[in-house]
Amino acid sequence: MGSRVGGVCLMLLALVALTSCASAGSGGLKDEGGKPTGTASDKDTAPTLRQLAERRGFFVGAAVNYDPFSKDAAYRQAIADQFNILTPENDMKFMRLHPEKDRYTFDQADKLMAFAAEHRITVRGHTLVWHRSLPKWVEEGQWDKEQLKAVMKEHIQTVVSRYKGKIAVWDVVNEAFNDDGSYRDNIWHKVIGPEYIELAFRWAHEADPGALLYYNDYTNESMTTKSNRIYEMSRDFRSRQVPIDGIGWQMHVRTMNYASPDKMKQNLQRLGALGLQVQITEMDVKVNDNKDNTQDDKMKRQADVYAGTLSACLGEKNCTAFITWGVGDKYTYLKDQDPKEQPLLLDERFQSKPAYHAVMDVLKR
């Protein structure tokens, strides 16, 4: 499996170089190690996150929500300036792409893809198999095992084939385990059984052998019961040539409750020993978990969490991306829970926060 990961990285290089050539301007995401370098234009101003990341051969990105993307020029500009990888926040989930059994809707996803190509931004596909964001025709269908396998295979291969050579990384299966390491009791597990995870990876690989394939979950960045279970699954898959390339750490955390860098390092190292990459895929840091903190204290604590996490990631060669779940505080999904929440690197005007500068400082080291 080690040779596969190396080969996939080289194919990722070719994809990103091709994307660069398709857009205006000079330079491309190209490096002998299969990592991004020098795509953002040099300016007589302070460097952006994107520029610093590319100098290190690293990916820094954000989840992109189509609604503000379609309406807010400042939002789009922040993406283009600051990030060299993006994840469609919702527009590649099953319900959005495949709302009816015989109908797919790719329009919004395709527009995000076009924007990424224009600005030489790599794309992570999210997500092929999940227990949420399913259309009613899947959730309420009376399926036997073979019927639901056929539904899952057809969906995976239709979507992955459409973006073959264009999407570098896929979250193939999302959140398949409970915190105690048991299988989540979702429709895929109920009807197909635990082998649905392996089948999803095999079918995605058949559709695009050049894409990196990830398992993605939350509370799995530290040394926990869940991360142990994911490690064991991954070790089994690698031993049987199941095409898994990496593990995604969501990292929706709080300033008062987050994984220590030392525990992340341990987990990174054991996954790296299997030949697996790791990407921090959905990070946000809630600041209002302690109502007594001053605003300055909240921002400092948040900055420390982001900086510590990125430092742990950059300390191991197999950690290849650092992605926040949103572009700026203005449109974070966490506003639905607390209108005063401020979980991201950019504020409501897409201006830099202490957390942004802390991340910049880590990238400069």
Q: Which of 54, 89, 282, 341 is catalytic?
A: 282
Q: Can you list the pairs that 65-72 forms with residues at least 24 positions away whose Cβ atoms lie under 8 Å?
A: 65/89, 65/90, 65/326, 65/327, 65/331, 66/90, 66/91, 66/108, 66/111, 66/112, 67/331, 68/327, 68/330, 68/331, 69/111, 69/112, 69/115, 70/111, 72/331
Beta bridge partners of 129: 173
Q: If we measure between CA atoms, which residue out of 111, 14, 19, 117 comes closest to residue 71?
A: 111
> Does 175 participate in catalysis according to the annotation?
yes
Q: Which of 54, 89, 175, 221 is catalytic?
A: 175
Residue 359 CA to residue 182 CA, distance in Å, equals 35
> Does 282 participate in catalysis according to the annotation?
yes
Q: Are 309 and 264 in contact (CB under 8 A)?
A: yes
Residue 341 CA to residue 336 CA, distance in Å, equals 9
Residues noted as catalytic? 175, 282
